[in-house]
Amino acid sequence: MKRRDFVWSAAVAGAGLSVGFGRTAASDPSQAKPAQAKPMQEGYARNGQIYYQLHGDPKGVPLFLGFPIMASHEQIFGEAQAGVRNGFLERLTDRYRVLLVDYPNIGKTTTPSPAEFTIDRACADMLAAADAAGFGRFAWWGPTSNGVQFGLALAARSDRVSAFVGGGWPPLGAPYEKLLLNGQNQVSDPPQHALVILRDKSQYAQWVTYYESMTRWPEAKAVASIKCPRMIYFPAEYSGSGPGLTFMFADIVREHRAELEKMGWRVVELAGPVRDGRALFDPALVVPVGREFLDAVT
């Protein structure tokens, strides 16, 4: 199997969860427009450990675009996936100053010990990148999975998040215990799709550390404490699986929809012919949904 055919499987959960994402129309480089119509800057944060890029008007609204859209996206995921990142940027950089990072611990970012990768470390790293980029308060957009998780934890503990947009991942009822089990089951023999973005097999242990920390994260209390404008969108049939495990993410969001809306969340179920996880990586579909919300609240 070629890299372009399974690379997005690694984007759902570093603990080896696979949803079998493939190429979308937006991923075709022949359909991608240049993403660098606006000035791009780059640098390193946290003592030279975290590589980041800034795209768009330097006077634009600060927007942190999280995992799995990377600064070194094409180099990490392959040329065929460049259209996904470019599709997000070309639809955002006219108004937003977009921050991208190589994270967690991939691309041009250095690799700390797997034992250090907790949700606390992830939040500290994201704030370090925001500081280096010159962001005070900023909107957060997590296209899926860990990008949503990082943003939820960050918004719950920092008033620097001015607005939150997440794709697919359930803010409430997320299966962190199952994801920990999934990682523990595969740490000695990581799945091939995870190794696409890791430097070596030993690095995979970071996901066991990470999901151990997420099982201790007070999800209900933390999510209830988020007060900035917030939105989650999800494909109608979004699901995933691991060895002996199934994750029905769309069903979990629906189950908690009334509770989320009572808290002040905007919850949007995506319509369209593509109703599974592939929809999350179609910029033509999801960016207008998230951008309409952000434009109204930032």
The confidence score (pLDDT) of residue 267 equals 98
Q: How far apart are CA 19 and CA 58, in angstroms?
A: 37
Q: Quote the mean pLDDT of the chain.
A: 87
The confidence score (pLDDT) of residue 24 equals 31
The confidence score (pLDDT) of residue 174 equals 97
Which run of H or E residues covers position 182? helix 176-186
Lowest mean pLDDT among 132-136, 176-180, 244-248, 280-284: 244-248
Q: DSSP string covering 31-79, please?
A: GPPPS-SS-EEEEEETTTTEEEEEES-TTSEEEEE-TTS-TTHHHHH-G
Question: What's the predicted TM-score (pTM) here?
Answer: 0.89
Task: Summarize pLDDT for 193-210 with one digit per residue, the tens.
Answer: 788 778 888 999 999 999
Average pLDDT over residues 128-137: 97
**Token pair of 274 as six digits:** 């593509």
The confidence score (pLDDT) of residue 215 equals 97
Sheet with 61-65, strands from edge to edge, namely 40-45, 50-55, 96-101, 61-65, 138-142, 161-167, 230-235, 266-270
The confidence score (pLDDT) of residue 36 equals 44
**Token pair of 230 as six digits:** 């917030």
The confidence score (pLDDT) of residue 191 equals 86
pLDDT surpassing 70 at residue 137: yes
Q: How far apart are CA 66 and CA 143, in angstroms?
A: 7
Which run of H or E residues covers position 19? none
Provide the percentage of residues in the chain whose pLDDT is more than 70.
87
The confidence score (pLDDT) of residue 195 equals 81
Task: Summarize pLDDT for 38-76 with one digit per residue, the tens.
Answer: 579 999 998 889 999 999 999 999 999 999 999 999 988
Band of the pLDDT at 112, cuts 50, 70, 90?
Answer: confident
Q: Which CATH architecture has domain 3-297?
A: 3-Layer(aba) Sandwich (3.40)
The confidence score (pLDDT) of residue 178 equals 93
pLDDT surpassing 90 at residue 279: yes
pLDDT surpassing 70 at residue 13: no
Q: How far apart are CA 167 and CA 293, in angstroms?
A: 13
For tokens 């080896």, the residue is: 16
User: What distance lies between CA 112 and its chain's CA centroid?
Assistant: 20
Q: How many CB atoms sit inside 10 A of residue 90's CB?
A: 20
pLDDT surpassing 80 at residue 227: yes
Give me the phi and psi of 261, to 5 degrees please.
-65, -35
Task: Name residue 260's amino acid.
Answer: L
Average pLDDT over residues 253-272: 96
Q: How far apart are CA 207 and CA 183, in angstroms?
A: 6
Band of the pLDDT at 10, cuts 50, 70, 90?
Answer: very low
Pairing of strands 230-235, 240-242: unpaired
Of 8, 40, 47, which is closest to residue 278 (Cα–Cα)?
8
Band of the pLDDT at 29, cuts 50, 70, 90?
Answer: very low
Contact indicator for 177, 234 with CB cutoff of 8 Å = no
The confidence score (pLDDT) of residue 198 equals 82
The confidence score (pLDDT) of residue 38 equals 58
Q: Is the alpha carbon torsion for 55, 57, 59, 63 positive or negative? A: negative
